[in-house]
Structure 1
Amino acid sequence: MKSIIALCALVAVVVARPEETYNPNYDSFNAKELVGNIRLLKNYGKCFLDRGPCTPEGSDFKKTIPEALKTSCAKCTPKQRELIRTVVEGFKQKLPEIWADLVKAHDPEGKYKESFDAFLNSK
């Protein structure tokens, strides 16, 4: 009986645990400003591709990209989802060659394309 109570308590703790998300420090990052500045957007793209230096924010974003892609941003807060959609659309529209290079670097076999596209299109 004691083991059943202990098991129920453990299940309750696991179920009640808040879902793990990425660090919300950059939830106020101005993605629209980034996308509106082609030079800055290009520099972030170079950072993400290891072709140029990174800002502290760029370094942090770069660490998150592979997992966010593989999980369709499962650990993202709603604000982070919005920011990612804005930046990805910026790359696709304004710097498609860098977007293509990012896709090749992080999903060369296209394993995550369908699920990531579904994430991008779900608003």
Structure 2
Amino acid sequence: MMTMYSSLAMMLLTYLTIQSNATETSTYTTKYDGIDLDEILNNERLLTGYVNCLMDNGPCTADGKELKKNIPDAIENDCKKCTDRQRDGSDRVMHYLIDHRPDDWVKLEEKYNSDGSYKMKYLLSKKTEDSKETNVTKSDEETKNSSKE
């Protein structure tokens, strides 16, 4: 009788472990992955609508509701449940906001990433990219100058 319970307990433990791992590796819905980010980023009214949705200052579209629901988890877990497309898209939107709509970014950051870690990572990577571009440009100029000599 004890072995039956032990076997049952072992099967239950195995099942729960598998379910736990499956849940950890699942991704957010891809239902809205086809949204045209350029259209949103290039349209002040649309972008303001999304910002207002995220800040609880206006209505949300279906995709806005999904974003609002997932944003805390995505930020806390470094977008582990994001697909590559979602990760690239979210980075693109956040970079755009930091660079072009800093007032909106400050409000969103205060609500969703109050420690400022995302912006710091972005600015650090941007600085590294700028340094690489500067070095490539200098290298190109040096090559041109040495070929003239």
Q: Same fold (TM over 0.5)?
A: yes
Whichever residue aligns with residue 35 of structure 2, its letter is F
Matched, 1:74 2:80: yes
Compare the two structures and name the one with the higher helix fraction. 2
Aligned residues of 1:92 and 1:99 also touching (Cα < 8 A): yes
Q: How many Å separate the matches in 1 of 2:88 and 2:46?
A: 19
Structure 1 ranges of 4+ moved more than 6 A: none
Match of 1:48 among 41, 51, 54: 54
Match of 1:100 among 106, 110, 118: 106
| Corresponding pairs, count | 113
| Higher Cα radius of gyration | 2
Matched, 1:113 2:117: yes
Matched, 1:89 2:95: yes
Structure 2, unaligned runs of 5 or more: 1-6, 126-149
1:25 counterpart residue number: 31
Whichever residue aligns with residue 117 of structure 1, its letter is K
Give the TM-score normalised by structure 2: 0.63
Whichever residue aligns with residue 45 of structure 1, its letter is V
Could you tell me how far 1:93 is from its partner in structure 2? 2.1
Give the TM-score normalised by structure 1: 0.75
What is the aligned-residue RMSD (CA, Å)? 2.9
Matched, 1:14 2:55: no
Deviates more, 1:75-84 or 1:91-100: 91-100
2:139 counterpart residue number: none
- Secondary structure at the aligned position of 2:31 is classed as helix
Matched, 1:62 2:68: yes
User: Higher RCO, 1 or 2 (CA under 8 Å, sep at least 6)?
Assistant: 1
Whichever residue aligns with residue 36 of structure 1, its letter is N
Q: Percent identity?
A: 30
Structure 1, unaligned runs of 5 or more: none
